[in-house]
Every structure is written in structure tokens, then in C-alpha cells.
Amino acid sequence: MHLGVWSCYVLYIIFGGLVFVVLEKPQESALLDEVRRLRLLFLEQNRCLQEKRLDQLLKKALFAGKRRIAVLDADTDELNNDFTSSLFFVTTYLTTTGYGNTVPLSDEGKVFCVLYCLAGMPLTMLLMSSSTQRLLPSVTHAPVRHLQERWGMSYHQASLLHVGLLLTCTALLFFLLPAAGLCLLERDWSFLESLYFCFISLSTIGLGDYLPGRTRSLAVRQGLEFATSCYLLVGLVVLLVVMETIWDLPQIRSLVRLVNGPREGPLMGVNMDELVLSESSLSPGNQEDSMDIVEVPQYTMHISTISPSITEEPPALRTQFISSTVH
């Protein structure tokens, strides 16, 4: 069963790759042809320019553009490594989103990034997990209990209704409303592109093809980066709460048990005090192989009872009985 699930997952990955090839390859080919045409046209109009020098300039410009260094407006003094941008960079790395727009260029920065993330990423996951466990009683358990007590629902019905309401509120507050706000702030973004950015961010995919504030002033860009950092930290905790709530659904648990299949019971430890060697555990065949085992004699205290018939005998008869016993 488990192997079958993995096979289905691999097929799902292959299916996704094929779909993206079919959808994106025509667009990529058209863009590549357009770039080649413009490049040849530029060389024809500027015959004094060497093709090799032009390629070097384009490579430098593309390298700088990927790191959000100004290329078209090269006279600007705005830098990406100000304090707000650095906070945004650190937040995206610690939450494993990593848009890839800002990267350390120096060797010292790369070493510090590795060491900083080695300590910071587990700490971030620990804090988010702790916050999730603190929110679950009030966000998940209490509403389900209220639905059961107030409306007389079963646990299955109350859990399913609560998950539906929680998903609706999460989609509205952390996807639809932020996407609408980005549409107003980024005029060249459509609602689909804004919604796409929200999903890519909170799912920690972080492709980096869309980032707010690229075409705005420095103050607006810094404000959007700070807002995005807060959005990531709060949104990831909310998504963890939603995922834990969905995981607690009885239907999901049944599906997980079906996928995992039967499991052996837990291995219970036995204390040394609980180990008892009985005579029945030594069979005749085993006794021959255990000649080195020395049998320890067992002593029991003799308990004598005096019956009423003896006590009722006359003293002379009782004395005669005792003397005969002694002899």
C-alpha cells in the first residue's frame, strides 16, 4: 500500500512537469526569439560595437537585475542592503521562503548566512510550532466543543463545519484581501498576479518572480518589505493552525490509517523486577542444557494448627500423646 502511494506521488510529479512544459514552452520560445531579434537589430544599428562586448554587458546587467540592483536607472544611489531590506532578507530566509532577490555577494556574508540560518531556522520552526500549539485550544478545540454542546452536533459534523469556516476566514483574510490591497498598491499587477504572490509566499515556495515595491520609491518599497515580513510570520502560523485542524479531522485520520496500513503495536519495555523465572519455563529438554544452574532450596515456615478435639482431651491423655510422639 505504501509503495503504491509513492508510485502515485511520482506520477503526480511527472504529470505536473508535463503540464508546465506544454503551457510554458511556447511562451519561452516566443520570448527567446524576440530577444534574439532585438539583439541582432541592435548590432546592425551599431556596427562599431563588438558582439562579445555586448554579451558581457548583458550578462552583467542580468546579474545585477536578478539582485535588484538598478540597471535602467544606474545613477540612483538607492541600495538593497539598507536595514529594512536586510530585515526582509533575513525573514524570508528564516521562514524558508527565500525569494532569491537579495543574496550575499561577499564570502563573509555567505559564511554568516549559512551559520545564521543553521541556528535561526530551527528556532523559527520551534517558535511557530509552539505558537500553533498555544492557539489550537482556543481556535480549534473550543469552537468544536461549542458546536457539539450548543447545536447538538456529533464530533464528525462539528469538526467538518469548523474546518470549512476556518478555511473560509483564512482565504479571505490572508489571500483575497491582501491580493486586493496589492492590486491597489501595484498598479501593474492584476488580481491573479497578486493572489499568486500571496500563495507563493505563504506556501514558502518563494519563486521571486513577483515582489512588491520594485517600481516604487524607496520609502514605499521599504514599507512594503516590512509589511511582507510581518505577513509571512503571522500567515505561516495561521496556516500551521489550519493544517493541524485539518489533520485532526476524523476523515483525514481514517485516510491516513488507510494509507499507512496496519502497524504493529508499540514495543513495551519490561523492568528487571518484572522478570520471573518459573519452574514451568524450564522444560525437560531445557533442564539438560542448563546443568550450570544451581537450584536454590526453598524454605517454608511450618504452620501448626491445634484442632478443638485435641484441646478437649483430658490432661492425662494429652500428656501420653505428647510423650509417645517424643519417643
Report the amino acid identity of residue 171: A
Exposed, middle or buried: residue 182 (CB in 10 Å: 0-12, 13-18, 19+)?
A: buried
Distance of CA 35 to the CA centre of its chain: 41
| Domain boundaries defined on the chain | 80-260
Q: Residue 66: how many CB atoms within 10 A of its CB? A: 13
Distance of CA 270 to the CA centre of its chain: 34
pTM score over 0.85: no
Residue 176 DSSP class? I
Maximum distance among all Cα pairs of the chain, rounded to whole angstroms: 149
Among 196, 161, 162, which Cα is nearest to 176's?
196
Report the topology of domain 80-260: Helix Hairpins (1.10.287)
Q: Residue 240: how many CB atoms within 10 A of its CB? A: 18
pLDDT along the chain (327 residues), means of 10: 79 88 87 89 86 84 69 56 82 88 80 91 93 94 93 92 96 97 90 95 89 80 90 95 93 85 58 47 48 45 44 44 42
Take residue 276 and report the three cell numbers written for it. Answer: 520471573
Q: What is the pLDDT of residue 268?
A: 56
Take residue 122 and report the three cell numbers written for it. Answer: 530551527
Distance of CA 165 to the CA centre of its chain: 23
Report the amino acid identity of residue 311: T
Q: What is the pLDDT of residue 86?
A: 84
Take residue 27 and report the three cell numbers written for it. Answer: 511562451
